[in-house]
Amino acid sequence: MSTTALNESFRKQISDLLASNRVVLFMKGTRQMPQCGFSAQVVQILNRLLPSYETVDVLDSPELRDGIKEFSQWPTIPQLYVGGQFIGGCDIVSEMNASGELQKIIGADHSAATRRDRHVIPSN
C-alpha cells in the first residue's frame, strides 16, 4: 500500500467539493496569485470564460497535493473538474479552449464571456 494512499474520509471531502461546485480547479497558488505558470495559464483561460469558479490551492497541504493526483489518476497539477468530471491539466484545457470544446463543456460563449469580463471587477 502506498504511503500516499487516499483515505476514504479525504476521498469523500474531494467528492463533496466537486459535487457542490460546478467548476473546480486544483492548482498551485490561488486564482489571484498562481504559483506556477501552468496554473496561471488555466486561470487566465477560466477567467475569460467564467465570472466565478472554485479553486483549491494544493500547496496548502502535501496530503491534498498527493491525494488529488491519486483521486484523478493524473500525475500533474493543475487539474480541472467540470460537473464532477475530471477534464485534464494545462495542455488539455488549453487545447480544448482553442478548439471551442471547453466553452461547450462549461456552458460559456467565449465571445460573450470575454465582453462581459471587461466590465466586471472581481471582488477579493
Q: Which pLDDT tens digit goes with each residue over 3-36?
A: 446 788 889 999 999 999 999 999 999 999 999 9
| Residue position matching grid coordinates 471531502 | 13
Q: Say whether pTM exceeds 0.85.
A: no
By C-alpha distance, which of 25, 18, 20 is closest to 42?
25
Query: Tell me: the pLDDT tens digits for 74-98?
Result: 999 999 999 999 999 999 999 999 9
| Residue position matching grid coordinates 471582488 | 123
Q: Which domains does the chain have, with CATH numbers?
A: 14-111 (3.40.30.10)
Question: Cα-flanking dihedrals φ and ψ of residue 28, to 5°?
Answer: -95, 115
Q: Spell out the residues 6+ positions from residue 14 whose beta carbon is closer than 8 angstroms to its own.
A: 67, 68, 71
